[in-house]
Amino acid sequence: MIFGNNKNIAVAVFGTDYAELSETEYMSEFIPEYRVKKSERYRKFSDRVNCIVSYFLLYRILKNNFGISEIPEICFNDYGKPFFINEKIYFSISHCDGAVCCCVSECDVGTDIQDKIYSYEDIAESVLSENELGLLHGSDVPAETFTELWTFKESYLKFKGTGITDSLSDIDFLSFRKKEKICFSTVWKNNFCISSCSEKELSHYFLTMNELLNN
């Protein structure tokens, strides 16, 4: 079983930008039709691929770790956060060029995946709090630091499921880590940063497209 037996899990798949049309057609057979139709509305092939791969990954986790053979009915709250209508299982999906991530848990969860952000100077002050700006300016690896802070905020907002109701700079990473009773995790793999917020600690797994399709 490629994901182990854990029911609080974060799985990232890399190399989605190398997926072939035949592979997306195969994966489309296992995901809801509305998701396939959504993928067809994207102009870029890479976006269409990620739209399909992310739900195929969700399907594989549900099947392997929860014994659910198809994706249950999904609804969305007022801010666009997806949830299963009839299952007490929580999930969060994120993707960027070349990679997707899916977290599935027995408790609420949020995740974000992003390749390293090198051009951040123009947006840093509007995104980061004063404490975070101090952390960024004092960092020996500022691109990594900014990417971690960015993905943390995105995963936290997905976890809360409330959308961006305040400025991103009002969300202070340093204070939230101390006050919130949440498990925060940030993992780097293949120049991608995966950040997650969850009520339980997550186990992380990393796959290639080939491993996702053939295991």
pLDDT of residue 164: 64
Domains of the chain: 9-214 (3.90.470.20)
Segment 92-105, tens digit of pLDDT: 999 999 999 999 99
The token pair at 29 is 């057979």
pLDDT top residue among 46 and 169: 46
User: Could you tell me the pLDDT band of residue 182, with boundaries at 50, 70 and 90?
Assistant: confident
Q: What is the percent of the chain where pLDDT is above 70?
A: 97
Q: What three-state secondary structure class fits 80?
A: coil
Q: Determine the Cα–Cα distance for residues 97 and 90; give it in Å rounded to an integer.
A: 24
* Averaged pLDDT of the chain: 92
Report pTM.
0.93
What's residue 201's pLDDT? Answer: 93
Instruction: Of 45-49, 178-182, 202-206, give the lowest mean pLDDT range.
Output: 178-182
114 vs 99: CA distance, rounded Å: 8
Residue 61 has what pLDDT?
A: 96
**Mean pLDDT value of segment 124-130:** 93
Amino acid 165: pLDDT:
60
Question: 92 pairs with which residues across the strands?
Answer: 103
For residue 1, the model assigns a pLDDT of 57
Residue 79: pLDDT band with limits 50, 70, 90: confident
Using CA atoms, how far apart are residues 72 and 61, in angstroms rounded to an integer? 13
Question: What's the CA gap between 151 and 172, in Å, rounded?
Answer: 13
Single-letter amino acid code for the residue at 28: S
What does the alpha-carbon distance between residue 200 and residue 184 come to, in Å, rounded to a whole number?
Answer: 9
| Choice among 34-43, 61-70, 95-104, 167-176 with the minimum mean pLDDT | 167-176
Per-residue confidence (pLDDT) for residue 197, from 0 to 100? 93
| pLDDT tens digits along 39-61 | 999 999 999 999 999 999 999 99
pLDDT of residue 55: 98
Q: Rounded mean pLDDT of 118-142?
A: 94
Mean pLDDT, residues 123-138 taken together: 94
Q: Which two tokens stand for residue 56?
A: 């195929």
Handedness of CA 160, 161, 164, 168 (dihedral sign): positive
Structure tokens at 130: 């004063």
